[in-house]
């Protein structure tokens, strides 16, 4: 996959347009359509995507994402996209919709086809949309494909719907809409080693500031270490038992694993929420709860195998 950090001439492409945060099931239909058209026409697929969320420029504040830019690029490559063009939204936010088609899409990419989701907007004040792309398709010589809403359990899949589920700690439904388990990555850093003293050594990571935050709580997670996946119990939040309200922690006990991985990058995928954080009277009661959390994981993983 080729990555370009500025406009570049790529002739006769099959374009996919969108911000693609999360690369959920609906996004994948858009991308697969662009890829299939490219293959049938012996040309290349291309995604044009902004480096930052448009609202970051329009509202002047950082918008936490379902995927970081690097994670998004990795998934683009896994899906099979040939080219990704990364643009700065602030450089294009004031362009009129038809000028964007004529002077950006057609001039640089001479598209044979353009595919978007049903709710794609572009151009100044969002004056460009699916209908606008269709109306101008014959004028500028491309075929336009609009992917309709993707529905699961009578719910339309969207980034906002997934965010809502994550904000509720409902990873069963969030993951179903994503088509994969929501995840965070990070390098293992030194912690206070309290969990190790209790018989539950944990791996602490820095939770990327650009990622949407999960609610405080304890979760059943899958942990990928050195290309191997393990079950785990993740605690996200402060340490109520220690009355620690200053240091936010993302710590994971990796089940059946006890190796030194300080400084190594691990991937933590959320399966389901186990419970809220609890303030315990003493370390003995905390240890007893950790044993119950581990039992929950053992039961739940067998339930998953039967699904």
**Range(s) within the chain of domains with CATH label 3.40.50.620:** 2-155
Q: Are 164 and 151 in contact (CB under 8 A)?
A: no
CATH code for the domain defined by 2-155: 3.40.50.620
Q: Are 143 and 41 in contact (CB under 8 A)?
A: no
Classify strands 2-4 and 83-87 as parallel, antiparallel or unpaired: parallel
Q: Could you report the per-residue pLDDT of 271-281, keeping only the tens digit for each?
A: 999 999 888 87
CATH code for the domain defined by 181-306: 2.40.30.30
Instruction: Tell me the whole-structure pTM to 2 decimals.
Output: 0.91
Q: Could you report the per-residue pLDDT of 11-50, keeping only the tens digit for each?
A: 999 999 999 999 999 999 999 999 999 999 999 999 999 9
Q: What share of the chain is helix, strand, coil (3-state, %, to 5)?
A: 35, 30, 35
Classify strands 143-147 and 113-117 as parallel, antiparallel or unpaired: parallel
52 token code pair: 């930052």
E-state strands within 139-289: 143-147, 151-152, 155-156, 183-189, 203-205, 217-225, 228-239, 244-254, 265-275
Distance from C-alpha of 158 to C-alpha of 22, rounded to nearest angstrom: 9
Q: Is the pLDDT of residue 259 over 50?
A: yes
Query: In this predicted structure, what is the pLDDT of residue 193?
Result: 61
Name 200's bridge partners: none
Q: Which residue has the higher pLDDT, 89 or 57?
A: 89
Q: Could you report the per-residue pLDDT of 132-190, keeping only the tens digit for each?
A: 999 999 999 999 999 999 888 888 899 999 999 999 999 999 999 999 999 999 999 88
Question: At 102, is the pLDDT very low, low, confident or very high (cuts 50, 70, 90)?
Answer: very high
What's the chain's average pLDDT? 90
**Range(s) within the chain of domains with CATH label 2.40.30.30:** 181-306
Query: In this predicted structure, what is the pLDDT of residue 307?
Result: 46
Q: Which residue has the higher pLDDT, 199 or 111?
A: 111
Buried b / exposed e over 42-78, threshold 16 CB at 10 Å, is ebbbbbbbbebbbebbeeeeeeebbbbeebbbebbee
Q: Are 30 and 115 in contact (CB under 8 A)?
A: yes
């Amino acid at each position: 996959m080729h990555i370009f950090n500025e406009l570049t001439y790529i002739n006769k492409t099959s374009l996919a347009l969108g911000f693609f945060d999360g690369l959920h099931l609906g996004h994948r239909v858009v991308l697969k359509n662009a890829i299939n058209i490219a293959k049938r026409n012996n040309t290349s697929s291309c995604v044009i995507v902004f480096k930052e969320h448009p609202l970051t420029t329009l509202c002047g504040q950082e918008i936490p994402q379902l995927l970081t830019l690097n994670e998004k690029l990795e998934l683009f490559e896994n899906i099979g996209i040939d080219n990704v063009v990364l643009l700065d939204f602030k450089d294009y936010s004031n362009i009129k919709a038809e000028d964007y088609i004529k002077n950006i899409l057609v001039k640089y990419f001479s598209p044979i086809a353009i595919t978007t989701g049903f709710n794609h907007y572009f151009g100044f004040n969002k004056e460009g949309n699916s209908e606008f792309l269709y109306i101008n398709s014959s004028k500028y010589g491309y075929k336009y494909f609009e992917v309709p809403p993707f529905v699961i359990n009578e719910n339309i899949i969207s980034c906002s719907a997934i965010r809502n589920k994550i904000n509720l700690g409902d990873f069963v439904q969030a993951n179903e809409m994503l088509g994969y388990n929501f995840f965070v990555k990070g390098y293992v850093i030194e912690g206070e080693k309290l969990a190790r003293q209790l018989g539950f050594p944990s791996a602490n990571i820095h939770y990327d500031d650009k990622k949407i935050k999960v609610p405080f709580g304890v979760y059943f997670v899958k942990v990928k270490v050195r290309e191997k996946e393990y079950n785990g119990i993740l605690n996200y939040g402060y340490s109520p038992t220690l009355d620690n309200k200053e240091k936010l922690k993302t710590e994971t006990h990796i089940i059946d694993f006890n190796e030194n991985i300080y400084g190594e990058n691990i991937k933590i995928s959320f399966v389901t929420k186990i419970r809220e954080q609890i303030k315990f009277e003493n370390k003995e009661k905390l240890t007893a709860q950790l044993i119950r959390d581990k039992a929950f994981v053992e039961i739940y993983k067998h339930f998953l195998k039967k699904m």
